[in-house]
Amino acid sequence: MVFKKPSFNVSEDGRTVEVDGLTFRLTPKLHYGQQTTFGDTFRVLHSAFVNSDKEEANRISSFGAFYQADTGIYFPGGFIVVVDHPDLGRISRDLDELILKANIDKFGKLAKTNITGSVRVMPRYNLDSISSKMLNRKEVLNSPFPYLLTGIEDASERLVEMMDISGKDVSFRIPQKKAISPNFTGHPRFLNSNYLFLGCIATAPPGGTYFFERVGSK
């Protein structure tokens, strides 16, 4: 797939960046609810890789950059449920209803519910075979995992473009079943290290974790 190059325009004061009409501020610490979704975070990261000739973009996509967002991952039974801007208390009570209301097809397409924002649900068996392995371009393109975390239909294609630019493979990661308690929750994370990491468990590098805050749109 050939993408139109996304914009990456930094404000004069250097505090915000505009990506395709959406404006974000990079903030070291925010309370959950102020952060943007992992989908928006992924949009900024993809744009930073594509525009890595710009100093600010290169800084965002640099080695060791570690990003998190206000998107939750839950593991009820044989499913993985991803919720943007989750109400943690309500989600813990309503996971069964979320799964029932989600129109799950074989690719785990996006399901909208009236419970809490955007919800994506997928049977866990779709992902166990690829977790914690180094994946090549074909495996990433055929995986629903980037879409599951971001809600972006072409997230796999965007990630492959990031692989091509960086020259790195990708590792997806989800917790092992034996490590999951009934109330286990996690948050999607992205790390640019010796490979590109996309998953919900990882140890933050010494520089700490960063978040994007969405502050405006055209």
Domain ranges, ordered by start, for the chain: 9-217
Per-residue model confidence (pLDDT) at position 155: 92
Q: Is residue 73 within 8 Å of 187, Cβ to Cβ?
A: yes
What is the per-residue pLDDT across 149-203, written as a single tens digit (0 to 9) for each?
A: 898 889 999 999 999 999 999 998 887 665 555 555 678 889 998 999 988 876 6
Burial class (CB in 10 A: 0-12, 13-18, 19+), 125: exposed
> Can you give the pLDDT at residue 166?
93
Write a three-state SS string for 104-120. Answer: CCCCCCCEECCCCCEEE
Checking if the pLDDT of 146 tops 70, the result is yes
Q: The pTM is what? A: 0.84
**Residue with more model confidence, 164 or 209:** 164
- Rounded to whole angstroms, how far apart are CA atoms 104 and 77? 15
